[in-house]
Chains A and B, each alone.
Chain A
């Protein structure tokens, strides 16, 4: 058991985790400096709100983390195969639209209605996600370009379809109509929070993806392709099929993110979450990139990085009490993510420090380092 813990502490995953923590710490530090520059007298109070304010509303942290986990998984999963799914926003919006359509236009009995709406969200994301996949697999078109452009195409199509359908939109076209309660996700009953069962769905999917990547032949193929496309071809791995499949899955995940966002219950009776068709790209998709980066695309790590980002976002809103503008908190979050890109350097530093420390220790004892490979 002791050895197991030792191995765990020495494992690569742990190294990544530690360096991510240091990266976050440095990011927070720089964030604090920004706050000090903006308003030094309130910086300490504002900073502690950003860091800890979220804990007071932890149910909300979980609630806002739900779609983030899913878009983070969408980006991270594609990353594993070496694909950069920058189109999570478009997929998110399309998934949301499909769920909205099922919720408002189809008339289905209670539990089934929600279930079908969720499935529809996945299908919507998959449809739009498959396009860059097919283009990449068959015509070697760069997926970054095709997926980023689909963000706009998806969003405009959705806004157009919503505005043109009287069943979906209210008279002023300012927002979508309220969804019936039958199609809303089951609330977990935390007072004052929209937290709903979708959080479990997101966590289960993250664990599922972890298993797929680590334990299955599909995951083996996927990661091999991500590391070395030529070697995977040599191994007889079907690159085209896997590329399309990966983008379809990634699209489905982001689509589900949009679905659970729109299907979340409302705190106000007879109301629901709404979408405003005002030609703005969903930010959740881009936050997904940050979430995936911060977690080095590890599905389990993504749960925590999404929680973390959600936490400081919630905390940031309460930092407004100290007179900080919401843009400041966005800057601090951006800085943290910026620093997370340095986490590789951090792990190098960390390795050196640990090594120097252990050498000092071993100098006292007998020299056991002469390990030459037989």
Chain B
């Protein structure tokens, strides 16, 4: 008889029109790092939400140390020592780190907060585990990596023994990911048990002891990491072989499509995020990638090009036409497609049906409206075509409410919508963020296809693998400036890392950039 701390047996959870978990069993041993792997929409997050008490399963039972328990809400989970770091952090932006950590379990004396003792415990925990935080910093002022450390400290502060991490690395830089991995290993060594939801196979291979794979809401099996390989895991997850290398021909750049000259952008968040006097071109038939660590001005630069923010200086030209002062709509008409960084914030109206989202950028065109009246038949036909063409999986077809779709399929819908515009310029910001290998492979193919069809592609990505594999030219941004330009075939990831961290840069000389130590 094995010693399991948590057992989830034959769990079934339904949502309208979909069975998210169908007879899933997961057993967690004490002191292990157990990965939960599956494509988007496979039911990983649902299963964890069941364990955390956010959803009640229709069938199945949960055991803690061999005894059946019922978890009706996160407080129950907490009482059982189960803590969770959600994919989207649950922090109060205007509170300090300390206030967030104690939120819900505030130490008090007759209603008066006792922050001193809380602070002592937090400082001890953060020293013990190397989780550096400033207890008095406001959440909105600190980096995403530090926000995650706050979430982890929240679990430790509550003395949780079972720690759930829901896609914790999706928002982190390579360095931060390494730190997190080390921290997780430390926890396991101490006897804490970790459930690690992810679809990044490298990470599983690096830290996990065992891995449970889900596919389309069903249990595929549990394997020992020491006895398996990346290829086997991906086969279990996707149900077929996955090609990790992007096949693409050599690019044949032609005319300049996007030209950015001396553009500066003032950031609303902080001085560091501002863009300072940036110039570059993107030509027809090439993929140019903006690389860099998050928060070095890449997002702001893209906002200025797409019109979401105003640039304070410089000119932006699209096909030779000055678009610096144009509205977002006019830029789109001039020939720009934009896969936005945050699909929930900018890319979709989640309450709308899928078909209504597929026309979000084109509803005003004669194809879809006549004298201000929407042509519903046309919209339905168009949506059906796109859904089919871009393999968007949705429970109820064009009328599926977008919120109910998985992240990967939401992203496919956006990609389909933007690529179908056949624009001269495709701006693609973190197009595969938070997606599974199957969807990533697919979206990469589509972007390469767009390039081969003659689009100029400006890609912004934080994933170095993606940067190296997909781009024809790499521009590294550091503190709002372009500090290096590279051919991905002639540069190593380590070399790029040095430029991204600001320890090396090329200087501008006439006719290009030149290395400088």
Query: Could you list which residues of chain A lie within 8 angstroms of chain B, going by C-beta atoms?
Result: 215-218, 220-221, 223-224, 227-228, 230-236, 238, 369-374
B216 CB-CB contact with A under 8 Å: yes
Q: Are B338 and A218 in contact (CB under 8 A)?
A: no
9 residue pairs bridging A and B, Cβ less than 8 Å apart: A215-B374, A216-B374, A227-B349, A230-B345, A230-B346, A234-B328, A371-B18, A372-B217, A373-B18
* Cα-based distance from A172 to B409 in the complex (angstroms): 71
Contacts of A233 in B (CB 8 A): 308, 328, 346
B residues 335-354 with Cβ under 8 Å of A? 338, 340, 345-352
Who on chain A is nearest to B348 by CB? A231
**A217 and B374 contact, Cβ closer than 8 Å, known pairs A231-B345, A235-B360, A369-B14:** yes
Query: Could you list which residues of chain B lie within 8 angstroms of chain A, going by C-beta atoms?
Result: 14, 17-19, 22, 41, 216-218, 308, 327-330, 332, 338, 340, 345-352, 356, 360-361, 363-364, 369, 372-374, 376, 393-395
**A373 and B393 contact, Cβ closer than 8 Å, known pairs A215-B374, A216-B374, A228-B349:** yes
* Cα-based distance from A221 to B329 in the complex (angstroms): 13
**A236 and B332 contact, Cβ closer than 8 Å, known pairs A372-B19, A373-B393:** yes
**A234 and B19 contact, Cβ closer than 8 Å, known pairs A217-B369, A217-B374, A372-B216:** no
Contacts of B393 in A (CB 8 A): 373-374
Who on chain A is nearest to B400 by CB? A373
* Cα-based distance from A227 to B364 in the complex (angstroms): 19
Instruction: State which of B19, B217, B218, B349 has its C-beta within 8 Å of the C-beta of A369.
Output: B19
- Extra contacts, 8 of them, besides A215-B373, A371-B17 (Cβ < 8 A), are A220-B374, A227-B351, A228-B345, A231-B347, A234-B347, A235-B360, A370-B22, A372-B216
Q: Are A231 and B329 in contact (CB under 8 A)?
A: no
Who on chain B is nearest to A351 by CB? B16
Contacts of B360 in A (CB 8 A): 224, 231, 234-235
Contacts of A238 in B (CB 8 A): 327, 329
Q: Are B346 and A231 in contact (CB under 8 A)?
A: yes
Q: Are A234 and B372 in contact (CB under 8 A)?
A: no
Contacts of A231 in B (CB 8 A): 345-349, 360
Contacts of B394 in A (CB 8 A): 373
* Cα-based distance from A218 to B373 in the complex (angstroms): 8
* Cα-based distance from A234 to B307 in the complex (angstroms): 8
Contacts of A223 in B (CB 8 A): 352
Instruction: State which of B308, B351, B363, B364 has its C-beta within 8 Å of the C-beta of A234.
Output: B308
Q: Are A371 and B373 in contact (CB under 8 A)?
A: no
Q: Are A372 and B328 in contact (CB under 8 A)?
A: no
Give the dominant DSSP class at A's interface. helix
Contacts of B356 in A (CB 8 A): 220, 224
Q: Are B395 and A373 in contact (CB under 8 A)?
A: yes
Q: Closest 9 interchain pairs by CB?
A: A236-B329, A234-B346, A236-B328, A227-B351, A235-B360, A228-B349, A230-B345, A227-B349, A216-B372
Instruction: State which of A224, A369, A370 has its C-beta within 8 Å of the C-beta of B352.
Output: A224
Q: Are B41 and A373 in contact (CB under 8 A)?
A: yes
* Cα-based distance from A236 to B41 in the complex (angstroms): 30
Q: Are A228 and B17 in contact (CB under 8 A)?
A: no
* Cα-based distance from A60 to B456 in the complex (angstroms): 67
* Cα-based distance from A233 to B376 in the complex (angstroms): 23
Q: Are B350 and A372 in contact (CB under 8 A)?
A: no
Contacts of A374 in B (CB 8 A): 393
* Cα-based distance from A5 to B411 in the complex (angstroms): 34
Q: Are B369 and A234 in contact (CB under 8 A)?
A: no
What's the nearest-Cβ distance from chain A to residue B334, in Å?
A: 12
Q: Are A228 and B350 in contact (CB under 8 A)?
A: yes
**A217 and B346 contact, Cβ closer than 8 Å, known pairs A236-B328, A372-B19:** no
Contacts of A372 in B (CB 8 A): 18-19, 22, 216-218
* Cα-based distance from A364 to B346 in the complex (angstroms): 47
Instruction: State which of B19, B352, B374, B376 has its C-beta within 8 Å of the C-beta of A227.
Output: B352
Contacts of A227 in B (CB 8 A): 349-352
What's the nearest-Cβ distance from chain B to residue A237, in Å?
A: 8
Who on chain B is nearest to A228 by CB? B349
Q: Are B349 and A224 in contact (CB under 8 A)?
A: yes
Contacts of B348 in A (CB 8 A): 228, 231
Q: Are A220 and B363 in contact (CB under 8 A)?
A: yes
Instruction: State which of B22, B217, B349 has its C-beta within 8 Å of the C-beta of A232.
Output: B349
Which of A215, A220, A371 gathers the greatest number of chain B CB atoms within 10 Å?
Answer: A220
* Cα-based distance from A216 to B374 in the complex (angstroms): 5
Contacts of A221 in B (CB 8 A): 363
Contacts of A236 in B (CB 8 A): 327-330, 332, 361
Contacts of B19 in A (CB 8 A): 369-372
Q: Are B363 and A217 in contact (CB under 8 A)?
A: yes
Contacts of B218 in A (CB 8 A): 372
Who on chain A is nearest to B43 by CB? A372
Contacts of B361 in A (CB 8 A): 235-236
Q: Are A217 and B216 in contact (CB under 8 A)?
A: no
What's the nearest-Cβ distance from chain A to residue B321, in Å?
A: 17
Contacts of B395 in A (CB 8 A): 371, 373
Who on chain A is nearest to B369 by CB? A217
* Cα-based distance from A236 to B418 in the complex (angstroms): 14
Who on chain B is nearest to A234 by CB? B346
What's the nearest-Cβ distance from chain A to residue B415, in Å?
A: 15
Contacts of A232 in B (CB 8 A): 349
What's the nearest-Cβ distance from chain A to residue B383, in Å?
A: 14
Who on chain A is nearest to B361 by CB? A235
Instruction: State which of B216, B308, B332, B350 has its C-beta within 8 Å of the C-beta of A373.
Output: B216
What's the nearest-Cβ distance from chain A to residue B335, in Å?
A: 14
Contacts of B18 in A (CB 8 A): 371-373
Contacts of B340 in A (CB 8 A): 234
* Cα-based distance from A373 to B15 in the complex (angstroms): 11
* Cα-based distance from A197 to B122 in the complex (angstroms): 71
Contacts of A373 in B (CB 8 A): 18, 41, 216, 393-395
* Cα-based distance from A345 to B218 in the complex (angstroms): 31
* Cα-based distance from A111 to B330 in the complex (angstroms): 47
* Cα-based distance from A233 to B308 in the complex (angstroms): 8
What's the nearest-Cβ distance from chain A to residue B297, in Å?
A: 20
Who on chain A is nearest to B333 by CB? A236
* Cα-based distance from A234 to B309 in the complex (angstroms): 11
Contacts of A217 in B (CB 8 A): 363-364, 369, 372-374
What's the nearest-Cβ distance from chain A to residue B410, in Å?
A: 12
Which of A227, A233, A235, A369 gathers the greatest number of chain B CB atoms within 10 Å?
Answer: A235
What's the nearest-Cβ distance from chain A to residue B218, in Å?
A: 7
Contacts of B369 in A (CB 8 A): 216-217
* Cα-based distance from A216 to B376 in the complex (angstroms): 10
* Cα-based distance from A266 to B280 in the complex (angstroms): 75
* Cα-based distance from A373 to B200 in the complex (angstroms): 23
* Cα-based distance from A326 to B217 in the complex (angstroms): 58
What's the nearest-Cβ distance from chain A to residue B16, in Å?
A: 8
What's the nearest-Cβ distance from chain A to residue B250, in Å?
A: 34
Contacts of A234 in B (CB 8 A): 308, 328, 338, 340, 346-347, 360
What's the nearest-Cβ distance from chain B to residue A124, in Å?
A: 26
What's the nearest-Cβ distance from chain B to residue A210, in Å?
A: 13
Which of A371, A372, A374 gathers the greatest number of chain B CB atoms within 10 Å?
Answer: A372
Contacts of B330 in A (CB 8 A): 236
* Cα-based distance from A220 to B17 in the complex (angstroms): 26
What's the nearest-Cβ distance from chain B to residue A369, in Å?
A: 7
* Cα-based distance from A112 to B364 in the complex (angstroms): 38
What's the nearest-Cβ distance from chain B to residue A208, in Å?
A: 13
Who on chain B is nearest to A232 by CB? B349
Q: Are A218 and B328 in contact (CB under 8 A)?
A: no
Who on chain B is nearest to A374 by CB? B393
Contacts of A369 in B (CB 8 A): 14, 19
* Cα-based distance from A221 to B361 in the complex (angstroms): 11
Which of B308, B328, B360 gathers the greatest number of chain A CB atoms within 10 Å?
Answer: B360
* Cα-based distance from A204 to B168 in the complex (angstroms): 54
* Cα-based distance from A369 to B361 in the complex (angstroms): 37
